[in-house]
Amino acid sequence: MHPKTLRHGLFGFVTGLLAASSAGEALANAPSAGSIHGSLPYDRAYFARPHNTYNPSKFGNLEDALQLGFRALEIDIHEFPNFYFQFPVKHSAGDPDNANNCQGDLRACLAKIRTWSNAHPGHEPITLQIDLKVGVSNAFVAWSDLQHSILHHQIGEELGTKLFRPRDLQDFTQYDNIRAGVYFKGWPTIDALRGKVIVLIMGGPINDKNDNQENYVRIHQGDANFFVCPNAGSAGDFTYHGNADDFDEYDTNKWVICGNVEAGSGWRHLANSANNNRQLMNLWGGSLFDQFHTMYLAVGWGASMISRESFNTFGGKLPYMGVRRSVPVEFNLANENSGLCLDVANASYQNGSDIIQFHCNSDANQRWIYTDETQLLSKGNNAYCYDIDSGDGDRGDKHHIWRCDGGASEKWRLQEDGSWVGKENRCMDVPNSSTSPGVQLWHYDCNGTSAQRFDIF
């Protein structure tokens, strides 16, 4: 198969929801939310999640996000003050309690989700992330057992039979330990979870988030109305035979099948572990994933819920929900114009070895690994990165490999047209649109020609 065919196959891997510049425009053009096959297990899907979905500047009503096609939502709640047993929905303690698109407290938000669900029977499962904030009550009683108990009951009362609970997952896997259960038995399919809501609890008291979540599990365990999603900082936090961070007891750890990960250095290793252990992973980082290349990396490395600020689906190539790890992060790169592949010349792994175009093959010197830090590591020796001679990023600088050092000259942003933008916003380019094997690539002003576009396979 010609690489050009493969390229179109890659970027057509899902049907798209329309890109839009505003919520109003998006809603006016919103197609069906369905873009994942019903037979897909829930953990094999990814879901883009609008940060602070309750913010009225993003959606006039919370249910607008669902109508647009999102199936993961985030709500921040604060602990209730004194004996007012309702949870304010807001980001900061000083914000007005009801300045949100639910026009009320947590119960109002849950009621909106329930009402929308009733009006759309058969919808894909909704994943609701509830982020526990602090600052309203006295810090010494914030997210106490009483707070968790009231939260537990409110979620149960408002969502009722719509909830898919930890006990339901345990019954499905037939394993006492659902960490092991999902690894060996998997998850119910999207079809089996239609009409359901899966609630994940994140956050809590500063410096004590995970221990606080463990205490909820310790008290409720088998009757829990929601899953906990503690902060994860290493790949080991997701191993089915290991322990989530701070969950040191078998009877609490066995209920943890989710981790909350900030997009810092090395998050791909956590995503890879979460995916391989069939656990959920929320990847967040503000507006980090509004760009095509960062969203691509999040999907490719195996995040299951991905922070997303905009409504852009990049021409439908990365819709709001799709298949986890459905785009490759290890690949050959073939120039669209010449059909030749990027190649470490003579498989010589040393500083300054040329990167040339050459007849495509399956050798490691033509394989590249795209990292969460936007480097392209050589598969043949991943101590070396695709880099720019002199490191300046000037027009005409030759491309070569160099021992990875984290510098700007080894960072590359994949674009949705298949081009790669590097330092000084210049592109990988085959000089003079040459179709000859052995020509070394160089750095050149981006111009949209096929000499700067590459097929991924």
Structural domain harbouring 108: 42-323
Last residue of a domain, one of 302, 323, 344: 323
Q: Maximum CA pair distance of the chain? A: 76
Say which amino acid occupies 333.
Answer: L
How large is the average pLDDT for residues 178-190? 98
- 247/194 same-domain check: yes
- The letter for the amino acid at 173 is T
Closest CA to 418 of 1, 14, 6, 20: 6
Q: Which residue has the tokens 């000089």?
A: 431
Task: Report the b/e string of 235-254 with b at 16+ CB within 10 A.
Answer: bebbbbeebbbbbeeeebbb
Residue 218 in any domain: the answer is: yes
Residues 54, 96 contacting (CB under 8 angstroms): no
Query: Is the Cα torsion angle 96, 98, 100, 105 positive or negative in sign?
Result: positive
- Among 23-27, 74-78, 149-153, 411-415, the minimum mean pLDDT is found in 23-27
Q: How far apart (Å, rounded) are the C-alpha atoms in residues 148 and 228?
A: 12
Q: Are residues 134 and 230 in the same domain?
A: yes
- Burial class, 269, CB count within 10 angstroms (exposed 0-12 / middle 13-18 / buried 19+): middle
Q: CB 172: neighbour CB atoms within 10 A?
A: 17
Please work out, in degrees rounded to the nearest 5, the angle formed at the alpha carbon of residue 304 by the alpha carbons of 144 and 292: 125
pLDDT value for 286:
65
User: d(Cα 196, Cα 117) in Å, to the nearest integer?
Assistant: 8
As a whole number, the mean pLDDT across the chain is 90
Tokens found for residue 88: 């304010």
pLDDT digits (tens, 9 = 90+) for 334-347: 999 999 999 999 99
Question: pTM of the predicted model, to two decimals?
Answer: 0.91
User: What is the enclosing helix (H) or strand (E) of 369?
Assistant: strand 368-370
- Which DSSP category does 441 fall into? P
Residue 347: inside a domain: yes
In a domain, 426, yes or no: yes
Query: Considering the domain boundaries, does residue 386 fall inside one?
Result: yes
Sheet holding 376-378, edge to edge: 330-331, 368-370, 376-378, 381-388, 399-403
Tell me: do 111 and 71 sit in the same domain. Answer: yes
CA angle 328, 330, 335 (to 5 degrees): 90
- Cα distance between the two ends of the chain: 10
The average pLDDT across 18-39 equals 48
| Spatial contact of 455 and 6, defined as CB atoms under 8 Å apart | yes
pLDDT of 82: 65
CATH number for the domain spanning 395: value is 2.80.10.50
What does the pLDDT average to over 96-116? Answer: 95
Q: Are residues 172 and 84 in the same domain?
A: yes
Domain assignment present for 15 = no
Number of structural domains found in the chain = 2
**Together in a domain, 148 and 270:** yes
Could you give the CA distance from residue 405 to residue 351 in angstroms, rounded to a whole number? 12
Tokens of 58: 């993003």
pLDDT band at 37 (very low <50, low <70, confident <90, very high): very high
Q: Judge if 51 and 138 occupy the same domain.
A: yes
Contact assessment for residue 107 and residue 115, using Cβ atoms and an 8 Å cutoff = no
| Closest to 296 (Cα-Cα) out of 427, 414, 388 | 414
Same domain, 309 and 422: no
Read off the pLDDT of residues 285-318 as tens digits, 9 standing for 90 and up. 866 788 999 999 999 999 999 999 888 899 899 9
How far apart, in whole angstroms, are the C-alpha atoms of residue 323 and residue 10? 12
| Same domain assignment for residues 129 and 262 | yes
Question: Measured between alpha carbons, how far is 452 from 397 in angstroms, rounded to an integer?
Answer: 15
Answer yes or no: do 316 and 398 share one domain: no
List, for residues 441-451, the tens digit of each pLDDT value: 999 999 999 99
**In-domain check, residue 310:** yes
Strand order across the beta sheet in which 305-308 lies: 258-262, 280-284, 305-308, 45-50, 321-323
**Token pair listed for 265:** 């250095």
Q: Cβ distance 361 to 341 under 8 Å? A: yes
Which of 323, 347, 382 terminates a domain? The answer is 323
User: What is the CATH number for 109?
Assistant: 3.20.20.190
- Same domain for 55 and 197, yes or no, is yes
Bridging pattern class, strands 72-78 and 126-133: parallel
Gyration radius (Cα) of the chain, Å: 24
| Final residue in a domain of this structure, among 308, 323, 338 | 323
Is residue 437 domain-shared with residue 392, that is, in the same domain?
A: yes
CB 340 within 8 A of CB 435: yes
Q: Which of 43-52, 88-97, 391-400 has the lowest mean pLDDT?
A: 88-97
Instruction: Give whole-number Cα distances, 10 to 14, 326, 418, 454, in Å.
Output: 9, 9, 11, 12
74 located within any domain: yes
In a domain, 61, yes or no: yes
Residues 251 and 334 in one domain: no
- CA 406: distance to chain centroid? 23
